[in-house]
Amino acid sequence: MMTARSSLSVPSALRNFLALLAGIALSAIAPGGGATAAPPPAAAPADPRFDAELTGYAYPFAVRFFEFSSQNQALKMAYMDVAAEKPNGHTVILLHGKNFAASYWEPTIRLLTARGYRVIAPDQVGFGKSSKPGAYQFSFQALAENTNALLDFAGVGPVSVVGHSMGGMLAARFALLHPSRVEKLVLVNPIGLEDWKTVVPYRSIDAWYAQELKATADTVREYQKVSYYDGQWKPEYERLIEASAGVTRHPDYPKAAWCSALTYDMIFTQPVVYEFPLLKVPTLLVIGQRDRTALGRAWAPKAAAAALGDYPVLGRKAAAAIPGARLVEIPGVGHLPQVEAFSAYSEALAGFLP
């Protein structure tokens, strides 16, 4: 038997060896052919501008940080503190909406500083360049106290408070907690003028988080196009979504998405509308009449969904509930009067602030 295996002719052995080599070569280039297949192309490096705290993203004015402790953890709030060209002795604080950071206030900051106001524009915890804590009990009271501590840190006394969208809910809560500090209160298309949880089924934080993780630059753009601008999109709107769209492409996005889910729950479960009659400060409501923003409309019962977000009605009810409130209605304008109708918005603002 040993002799029989060793007596294979040389040409035949060579042919078998070459066939084996050919098989190995083919397996290397065929789909699923093994370890020698070409590696996939490397992923594009993450844009450093859009990490969880927008570290490399440029704001229109210098950014400072207020470092403090809250809920047993070290946090920081980013803010812009812009001096007036010719100070009039008054300060305005601008409180951003849910889908924005403080940077979108740039035109308002320029308007106000030109009129003599010092302007403070912070990113709330969980937003923009501020901390994105993984465990934080978000409440409008907590955000209001953080904001009050920031004003103390910045050496600010009385302020006029301007809040847009979610910032309107926060501004109202701030004025309820610190009425002696508030000279004037301005609510620009605030959300929370109705209590959605009375008609909309509750959605868990986990469900909000799963939804946020699916966000892309395209879905961010489409949501604002439909919800804010009546299906119209202009090139200048791109700047307003640059940060919120950019962060969806960064590996840090789950941190931002988690904070977004937590704050959705805060907005849904902590209405301030019932306390409007308790406001004791001069108040202006600026309401774009085309706005139909309503949290949870997509999963509300059909009949209830159709009635939600009726801002012409909601604005008038809010003005009637807030003692002495002034109402400015801007026709043909949606959720962002300060973008779509800056002239009418700025006239209302300038005519009301001290």
Residue pLDDT, tens place only, 326-348 = 999 999 999 999 999 999 999 99
As given in the structure block, the two tokens for residue 114 are: 């030109």
Angle at 8 (CA atoms; ends 4, 12), nearest 5 degrees: 155
Residue predicted with more confidence, 167 or 31: 167
Q: Which pLDDT tens digit goes with each residue over 5-63?
A: 333 333 343 344 334 334 433 333 333 444 444 555 555 678 989 999 999 999 999 99
Q: What percent of the chain has pLDDT over 70?
A: 88
| Calpha distance 18→38 (Å, rounded) | 24
Parallel, antiparallel or unpaired: strands 159-164 and 118-122: unpaired
Label the pairing between strands 326-330 and 283-288: parallel
Domains along the sequence of the chain with CATH: 54-352 (3.40.50.1820)
pTM: 0.88
pLDDT of residue 38: 55
Q: How far apart are alpha carbons 162 and 93 in whole angstroms?
A: 6
12/27 Cα distance (integer angstroms) = 23
Contacts of 280 (CB under 8 A, 6+ apart): 175, 179, 323
Q: What percent of the chain has pLDDT over 90?
A: 86
Neighbours of 314 (CB within 10 A): 23
Alpha helices in 184-310 (DSSP H): 205-213, 217-228, 238-246, 253-269, 302-307
pLDDT (tens digit, 9 = 90+) per residue, 209-224? 999 999 999 999 999 9
Amino acid letter, 19? A
Give CA angle at 315 (103, 260), nearest 5°: 40
pLDDT at 46: 85
Q: What amino acid occupies position 227?
A: S
Which of 91, 181, 111, 100 lies closest to 145 in space, CA to CA? 181
Band of pLDDT at residue 320, cut at 50, 70 and 90: very high
**Under 8 Å CB-to-CB from 322, ≥6 apart: which residues?**
276, 277, 279, 283, 285
Which residue's entry shows tokens 């038997």?
1
pLDDT at site 33: 42
Tell me, what's the pLDDT at 41?
52
- The alpha carbon dihedral of 335, 338, 339, 342 has a sign of positive
- The band of 187, judged by pLDDT with boundaries at 50, 70 and 90, is very high
* Average pLDDT over every residue of 104-123: 98
Alpha-carbon dihedral angle through residues 218, 224, 225, 228, given to the nearest 10 degrees: 180
pLDDT of residue 39: 54
In this prediction, residues 220-232 reach a mean pLDDT of 96
153 falls in which pLDDT band (50, 70, 90)? very high
What does the DSSP assignment read for 113-160? HHTT-EEEEEPPTTSTTS---SS----HHHHHHHHHHHHHHTT--SEE
Q: Which two tokens stand for residue 228?
A: 């804010």
pLDDT over 90 (residue 131): yes
Task: Give me the pLDDT at residue 245, please.
Answer: 97
What is the reported pLDDT for 24?
Answer: 35
Residue 306, pLDDT > 50, answer yes
pLDDT of 71 above 90: yes
Residue 323, SS3 per DSSP: coil
Question: What's the average model confidence in pLDDT over 275-299?
Answer: 97
From the number of C-beta atoms within 10 Å of its C-beta (0-12, 13-18, 19+), residue 153 rates as: middle
Average pLDDT score, the chain: 90
For range 149-158, the mean pLDDT: 98
Q: Are 80 and 61 in contact (CB under 8 A)?
A: yes
Q: What average pLDDT does this structure show over 116-121?
A: 98
More confident residue, 21 or 314: 314
Indicate the DSSP class of residue 301. -
Mean pLDDT of 113-125: 98
CA 250 distance to own-chain centroid: 15
The pLDDT score that the predictor gives to residue 45 is: 75
Name the amino acid, one letter, at 251: P
pLDDT on residue 21:
38
Residue 6: its pLDDT value, please?
Answer: 34
Quote the distance between the C-alpha of residue 253 and its chain's center. Answer: 12
